Structures are given as C-alpha cells and as structure tokens.
C-alpha cells in the first residue's frame, strides 16, 4: 500500500503531474441552454480515434492493388475473425465522424463561437472537415468496387474541370490519365499516411487554439446573465465536463456498435473498368448534394459548360462559408446575427433537401 504514493512521486518528479492537475482545475466550460452542443467536438475526436484503431487493424490484411484490393477486403470480411465487424465499424465510424463534424460546425455557427478572436479556430476546424471529406473520398476507393470506382472517376474528373490547372490536378490525383491501379496506390498513400499526418498536425493546432481562447459562450447567454447581474455559470472541465463527455463517447460507441453489427457494411461488386456505370449509382451521403446539383445543371449555361459552372458555384459557396467569421461583422464591428443565422439555415436546407433528392431520385 505504501508503494502507491512512492510510484506517484516517481511519476510526479518526471512528468510534473501537479501542474497538469492545477491547469485542469482552472479550465471551465460555460453552462447554458446550448451546452449539449459542446460535446460534438469531442465525439468527432473520439470517432477519429476509432478510425485510427480500426484502420490500423485493416492494414494488417489489406492489399492496395487492383488485382488484390477487392479480394483482400473480401478475405477480411469472410475469413478473418471479426473482420466483418472491424471493417463495418471503420465504415460506420467514418460516416458518423463526418456527421458529428457537420453538427459540430453548425453548432459553432449558431452559438457564434467563430467570433473574434476565434477566427483561426474556425479556419482550422473547416480545414479538418475538408480533410475528413478527403479521408472519405480516398477511403471509398480502397475496396475497389464498382460504386467506388465510378465515384472516383466522377470526383477526379470534377477536378479536371478547373480552368488551367485542372488537368494537372486530375493527373496528380489519379497518378495517370485515368482511374486505375496507380490511383488506388496513390489513394491508399493519401488515406493512411498523408491525410493522417496533416490531420494530426491540424488537430493539435485546433485543440491548442480551443485551449488558448477557452470555450466560447453564446452572446444571448452572456446577455441573459448580464441582465441578472450574475456571472455566467461555469462547470469545471475536469472532472465534471470530462465525465459527461465520456458518457457521450460511450453513447456514440453504443450507436456505432449497433449500426456496425446490425447493418454490416457491404462490399458490392468488384470494379470493372470496362463495365458501364450501374443504374442507381450514387456517392456517399455527404457528397449527395453536389452530386444531385450536377445532375440538374444543364450541359451549357450561357457560353460555359455546365460542369464548370457547377464547380465555380461550389467553389464560391465554399469560399463564402470559410470566410464566415470575416463577413459576420460589419466595419463598425456590429454582428450580422440575422445574416449568419440565415446563412446557416439556408445551407442546412440546401444540404438536406438536395441530399434527400439525390438519394431518392
């Protein structure tokens, strides 16, 4: 029994745990009607950790070549013990992570957490969402099935539509002129090395910024307590918020485990570069809105090709959204609250409506 304090003292001397405890004791989280939305950042992080763990397990059997990729995933799903579950958890977790990241992003918008001085936190978060979509796009090809093959053809061909440099971007992504073995190897490299490296760096920056500026409280909550002449209630991050966050992770794990076990992720049919695109083909849900938009744009808009107009539209929309913290205040520093709320509502309406239409039509 006397061992424990001695062991602790040994670690204390080497790690300086007391300063960490002191630091955690001072960190607080605002308590108000919207506090529950704070959990989604942590849930996204938790699901990313699940991705890393299950992805590492899949790496033990996966082979990134057109002749072996599909068969190796089939082997994982049919011969490796719990292989079907590990792959299903990886696929479901990827989807839930992107959903959680979207919820986190919109909660930041509606709670106005992007306001000065948190512009860089917003930008790093948006870049992380972009990387998450990159993970989704690159990982989608790895099983080398028909749907993923055509999704990659369409996705990389959209890049080719960028005026001037499009051809080079498409060639860089594909590793050649068309989607093939070189693309699969390249996407595997992006998926398991380049994107995880970039994500880790950005994630550290994002968390450091959250740490530096603290957790933002919405203006309405601050004003409510200003009227009451009371300080906004806070809860200690450790252990109060941390334990609640753990419960949220546990709930997320329950949802993930249920989905993965009850609805195992399918493998589909092996890709055949000389087969036509099958009827009813569609991308993952998070690319459905641009997919359906591209279906609606006519072949030509005035003198421009429809796909170029679509690409330009998506680019401008993305730029407008990324720049949100900079147009959310006017030159006098007054917040454009209605504009921001309207933009958020419109974007959610566009994404949900077009995704639903893309799924069912």
For residue 359, state whether it binds other proteins (rule: CB under 8 A).
Answer: no
CB of 202 to other proteins, least distance (A): 20
Per CB under 8 A, contacts with other proteins among 287-316 are: 291, 294-295, 297-300, 305-307
DSSP 3-state of 114: coil
DSSP 233: P
Q: Which of 43, 77, 89, 158 binds other proteins (CB under 8 A)?
A: 158
Q: Closest CB to other proteins among 255 and 275?
A: 275
Q: What minimum distance in Å lies between the beta carbon of 59 and other proteins?
A: 22
Q: Which residues of 140-159 are buried (b: 16+ CB within 10 A; e: fewer)?
A: bbbbbbbbbbbbbbbbbbbb
Whether 114 contacts 325, CB under 8 Å: yes
User: Does residue 154 belong to the site contacting other proteins (CB under 8 A)?
Assistant: yes
Residues 6+ apart with CB under 8 A from 126: 105, 321, 322
CB of 123 to other proteins, least distance (A): 24
Contact range with other proteins by CB under 8 A, out of 40-48, 58-66, 171-179, 233-241: 171-179
Candidate residues 6, 280, 303, 333; the one interacting with other proteins per rule CB under 8 A: 280
Shortest Å distance, C-beta 140 to other proteins: 15
Write the DSSP string, 134-203.
Answer: HHHHHHHHTT-BHHHHHHHHHHHHHHHTSTTTHHHHHHHHHTSSSSSHHHHHHHHHIIIIIHHHHHHHHH
The answer to the question of residue 6 lying near other proteins (CB under 8 A) is no
Query: From CA 146, how far away is CA 191, in angstroms rounded?
Result: 19
Torsion angle (degrees, nearest 10) of CA 258, 259, 261, 262: 100
Stretch in the footprint of other proteins (CB under 8 A) among 79-87, 173-181, 214-222, 232-240: 173-181
Contacts to other proteins by CB under 8 A? 150, 153-154, 156-158, 160, 168, 171-172, 174-176, 178, 182, 273-281, 291, 294-295, 297-300, 305-307
């Amino acid at each position: 029994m006397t061992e424990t304090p001695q062991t602790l003292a040994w670690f204390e001397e080497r790690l300086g745990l007391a300063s960490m405890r002191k630091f955690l004791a001072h960190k607080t989280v605002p308590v108000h009607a919207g506090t529950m939305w704070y959990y989604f950042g942590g849930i996204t992080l938790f699901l990313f950790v699940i991705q890393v763990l299950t992805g590492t397990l899949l790496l033990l059997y996966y082979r990134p070549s057109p002749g072996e990729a599909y068969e190796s995933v089939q082997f994982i799903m049919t011969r490796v013990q719990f292989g079907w579950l590990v792959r299903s958890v990886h696929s479901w977790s990827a989807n839930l992570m992107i959903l959680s990241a979207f919820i986190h992003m919109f909660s930041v918008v509606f709670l106005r957490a992007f306001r000065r001085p948190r512009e860089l936190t917003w930008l790093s978060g948006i870049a992380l969402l972009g990387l998450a979509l990159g993970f989704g796009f690159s990982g989608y090809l790895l099983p080398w099935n028909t749907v993923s093959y055509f999704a990659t053809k369409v996705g990389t061909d959209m890049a080719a539509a960028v005026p001037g440099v499009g051809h080079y971007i498409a060639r860089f992504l594909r590793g050649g002129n068309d989607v093939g073995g070189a693309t699969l190897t390249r996407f595997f490299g992006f998926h398991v090395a380049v994107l995880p490296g970039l994500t880790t760096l950005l994630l550290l920056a994002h968390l450091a910024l959250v740490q530096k500026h603290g957790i933002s409280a919405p203006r309405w909550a601050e004003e409510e307590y200003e009227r009451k002449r009371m300080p906004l209630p806070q809860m200690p991050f450790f252990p109060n918020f941390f334990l609640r966050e753990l419960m949220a992770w546990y709930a997320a794990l329950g949802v993930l485990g249920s989905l993965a076990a009850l609805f195992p992720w399918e493998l589909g049919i092996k890709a055949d570069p000389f087969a036509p695109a099958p009827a009813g083909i569609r991308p993952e849900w998070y690319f459905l809105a641009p997919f359906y938009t591209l279906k609606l744009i006519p072949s030509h808009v005035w003198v421009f090709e429809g796909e170029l107009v679509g690409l330009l539209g998506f680019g401008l929309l993305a730029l407008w959204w990324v720049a949100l913290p900079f147009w959310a205040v006017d030159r006098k520093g007054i917040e454009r609250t209605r504009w921001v709320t309207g933009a958020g509502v419109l974007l959610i309406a566009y994404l949900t409506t077009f995704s639903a239409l893309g799924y069912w039509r």
